[in-house]
Chains A and B, each alone.
Chain A
Amino acid sequence: MKQAEELPHRVKSVQEAVERYRVPSAKSVWQKSRNYRLALLYLLPSLVLFGVFMFYPMIYSLYLSFFFTDAQGSPALFVGLENYAYLWESASFRRSVIVTLLFVAMTVPAGVVLALFLALIANEKLRGIGFFRTIFASTLGMSVAASAVIWLFMFHPTAGILNAMLLGLNLPALSWLQDSTMALVSIAITTVWMNTGFSFLILLGGLQNIDEHLYESARIDGAGYFYQLRRITVPMLSPTLFFIITISFINAFQSFGQVDILTGGGPAEATNLIIYSIYREAFIYYQFGPASAMAIVLFAAVLVLTLLQFKFGERKVHYQ
């Protein structure tokens, strides 16, 4: 109590005060458990919802992946690791993994570089810059369904504007979605475009957090734009960049709507990305066992990525 009277001006927040002035006391059990009861009450909604819609289904997915299921989706026959063995041998699943990895390779670097470029040019103090920022962020407001439908039209072989542009430049028209290599590229283009808004906004925020003085002293030393970019901007932005790279990876793994609308996984499974393949296995063929095994593989992949982000992301934040 005495302490509290002496030091109130140093305390900046309740959190700090609570931690500093906490004193062990001999209260009754009822009083002592007061915080527990309060915490339980306030945390209960979150805990129940996480339990029902996150933790339980995660465990149940694992459980289902060891079973063959009947038409209602209930486990019917324990098969051990057979579903995983089936996946391992399935040409279709292997194809799906390869396609997903190719898709990641196409979308992540391109998406990050594009968003970084936009963030850099939008971070200048110019008249009307707010307008450009809103435009660049606009795809954040675009749903996957709306985006995919617009691009579907632009990719159209005869009515599409993209082929019209190519012909206008005297280039041959492309079969954007009908050719098996181009189809994946086309979905990648759509995905990069859709995700740019979010990446741009986060990177712009990261750029604005860099201390202006660093650039001032660099300018005094006569450093040029690209030297500053390489020596100040990129290193200072690295935690944000790392975050965006991880998010882009995870987004690429989770792409579904654009595949569903643009190609339906075709032609010849050339765009059968992992989530689409889980969806097909579970909700079109009703093979919940193998589909759950796929879901577990997906979970493992995302888990590794996120842990890498935590590990390296944390380390990089330190020198900020």
Chain B
Amino acid sequence: MRKTILYTLLSIAALVMFFPILYAFSVSFMTSEDILNRQVIPSAPTLDNYRGVLESVPILHYLMNSFIVASTATLGMLIVSALAAFIFAFIPFKGRQAVFLLFISTLLIPWEATMIPNFLTIQSLGWMNNYLALTVPFFALAFGTFLLRQHFKTVPHELYEAAQVEGLSHFQFFYKVVVPYAKTSFVTLGIFGFLTTWNMYLWPLLVTTNDTVRTVQIGLRRLQADEVATNWGLVMAGVVLVIIPTLILLAAGQKQLQKGLTKGAIK
């Protein structure tokens, strides 16, 4: 009885929540007649929309850009956060608490409140339409530093002793012992970083004025503006191409992400 109720609730909820995504997939395979007739399932599935979207906008180029931006930003985020986390976990010095507070204080600054000066900075550095503008500002991340520090602090004392016996330097201890030990937190932060940078919208809109480094999110906006009046199937094919990478990543890393984010949220 209880099980039946639960399964019913779960199924209804899943259907409602997932409907927009399923619908986007479905429309992307529809002919224009199907779309006009407001079909839910394509009567004669076709790949024309995908062919069309590949021809009408440089979507593969945008995807490539997004991939470069998201991977670089993620990698940078992991390295910069890990270095800072290492100090906060292992190297005591007078004033460390104050520096830690400085890191915390960045959580109080909404990114949008700084976008005007940041835009001016990027202009004066000559980074407009450059990958640097889309990646470097996101390398330092207080949340990432805390997440890694939490995990670094659990490194067993024996490992530290063993490292000293072996005569490892701090840096060797860092990358030979600590990094492999906290692998799961790196994975969590990596997934999180990739998802957020892949999905960025406002910043790429500001710092890209042509197609050279434009990411797929902004490409989608252009596609939508150009094609909406005429061809929804084509726009949805574009949407599907954009969401597939992150949906796969999420499905693969969901458990990991949940554990990691919860730790970050509660601690």
Contacts and interface: CB of A to CB of B under 8 A. Distances in A.
A294 to B, nearest CB: 9
B21 A42 contact: no
A38 B35 CA distance: 62
Task: Label chain A's interface by main secondary structure.
Answer: helix
Interface residues of B, number: 98
A39 B93 CA distance: 8
Contacts of B139: 45, 49
A196 interface: yes
A306 interface: yes
B128 interface: no
Given A141-B195, A201-B257, A61 B114 contact: yes
Interface in B238-263: 238-239, 242-243, 246-247, 249-251, 254, 257-259, 261-262
Chain B interface mostly: helix
B38 A159 contact: yes
A53 B122 CA distance: 10
Interface string B1-32: 00100110110011001101101100100000
B117 A164 contact: no
Interface string B72-112: 00000001110110110111110010010011001111111
B254 A133 contact: yes
A215 interface: no
Interface string A275-309: 10011001100001001100110110011001100
Nearest to B248: A141
Contacts of A209: 262, 266
A188 B120 CA distance: 32
A53 B3 contact: no
A174 to B, nearest CB: 15
A138 B140 contact: no
A298 B93 contact: no
Contact of A135 (B17, B79, B109, B238): B17
Contacts of B167: none
A19 B17 contact: no
Nearest to B158: A8
Given A42-B86, A137-B250, A240-B265, A278 B157 contact: no
Contact of B262 (A46, A73, A202): A202
B153 to A, nearest CB: 5
Contacts of A11: 157
A143 B91 contact: no
Contacts of A160: 38
A46 B149 CA distance: 14
A140 B106 CA distance: 23
B140 A143 contact: no
A53 B36 CA distance: 48
A261 interface: yes
Interface in A244-263: 250, 253-254, 256-257, 260-261
B58 to A, nearest CB: 16
Contacts of A86: none
B106 A141 contact: no
A12 to B, nearest CB: 7
A138 B18 contact: yes
A303 B259 contact: no
Contacts of A113: none
Contact of A145 (B36, B136, B220, B258): B220
Interface stretch (A88-96, A104-112, A119-127, A227-235): A119-127
Contact of A256 (B136, B201, B236): B201
A306 B221 CA distance: 32
A265 interface: no
A146 B3 contact: no
A19 B112 contact: no
A16 interface: yes
Given A54-B114, A159-B232, A239-B266, A138 B247 contact: yes
A147 B20 contact: yes
B91 A38 contact: yes
B53 interface: no
Contact of A118 (B17, B157, B206, B242): B17
Contacts of A295: 112-116
Interface of B: 3, 6-7, 9-10, 13-14, 17-18, 20-21, 23-24, 27, 35-36, 38, 40, 79-81, 83-84, 86-87, 89-93, 96, 99, 102-103, 106-121, 136-137, 139-140, 145, 152-157, 159-161, 170, 195, 198-199, 201-202, 205-206, 217-218, 220-221, 224, 228, 232, 235-236, 238-239, 242-243, 246-247, 249-251, 254, 257-259, 261-262, 265-266
Given A141-B243, A206-B262, 9 more contacts: A8-B161, A13-B153, A53-B121, A58-B114, A145-B220, A257-B217, A261-B221, A261-B224, A306-B108
Report the 10 A-B pairs with minimum CB-CB distance, sorted nearest first.
A205-B262, A57-B117, A49-B140, A141-B250, A143-B199, A57-B114, A141-B246, A60-B117, A257-B201, A299-B113
19 contacts: A12-B156, A13-B154, A13-B155, A64-B117, A134-B254, A140-B250, A140-B257, A145-B199, A145-B218, A146-B217, A147-B20, A149-B220, A152-B224, A159-B35, A193-B17, A202-B265, A205-B258, A206-B265, A254-B112
